[in-house]
A = this chain, B = another copy of it.
Amino acid sequence: MADDESTLQQQVWDFVYAYDAAYDRAAQAVGLSAAQACLLGQLTMGERSMGELAVELLCDPSNVTQLVARLEARGLVTRVPDPADRRVKQVSITPAGRREHRAVRRAFDFPDDRLGRLDEGEQLQLSSLLAKLLDRPGQAAAGG
């Protein structure tokens, strides 16, 4: 009786658990931590300052310093002072960094393995539900 009422919450927990585990495996298969892969992922969408990365990664700037330092030492990102405000450093992903990140994406089998089980209609359904959960327009939100 106490089981039924928690089923959806438990399913969501299990889903997130599986997703996180798959991402960790993918990053580690490429020799990166999840945090490093995540940072590289942000940079694939364009350069960012250290502070912007801290906001996006939900962590302290001093942590970003460490993460970027390790990635820079491996030649996966670069860090150059912003000419407009030399306190700021703009971080960019290098070609090698892009290759590593693509390798993570390839190793990250969760989307294909799991989302691939849904047919097109189900995927639209899921997209619509997620849009509500995220306060964003999903691909299936128009017209309900």
Chain A residues with a Cβ under 8 A of chain B: 4, 7-9, 11-12, 14-16, 18-21, 58, 111, 114-115, 117-118, 122-123, 125-127, 129-134, 136, 138-139
Give the residues in chain B near A4, CB-CB below 8 Å. 139
> From DSSP, what is the main secondary structure of chain A's interface residues?
helix
A118 touches B132 (CB 8 A): yes
Which of A4, A132, A138 is the most central at the interface, judged by chain B CB atoms within 10 Å of its CB? A132
Give A131's nearest chain B residue, CB to CB: B11
**Could you say which of B12, B15, B18, B139 contacts A8, with CB atoms under 8 Å apart?**
B139
**Could you say which of B58, B111, B129, B131 contacts A129, with CB atoms under 8 Å apart?**
B129
B139 touches A115 (CB 8 A): no
Given contacts A118-B129, A125-B129, A133-B15, contact A7 B139 (CB under 8 A): yes
A133 touches B111 (CB 8 A): no
A142 to chain B, nearest CB (A): 12
Give A9's nearest chain B residue, CB to CB: B111
B18 touches A19 (CB 8 A): no
Question: Closest 6 A-B residue pairs measured CB to CB?
Answer: A11-B130, A7-B139, A114-B133, A8-B127, A16-B19, A9-B111
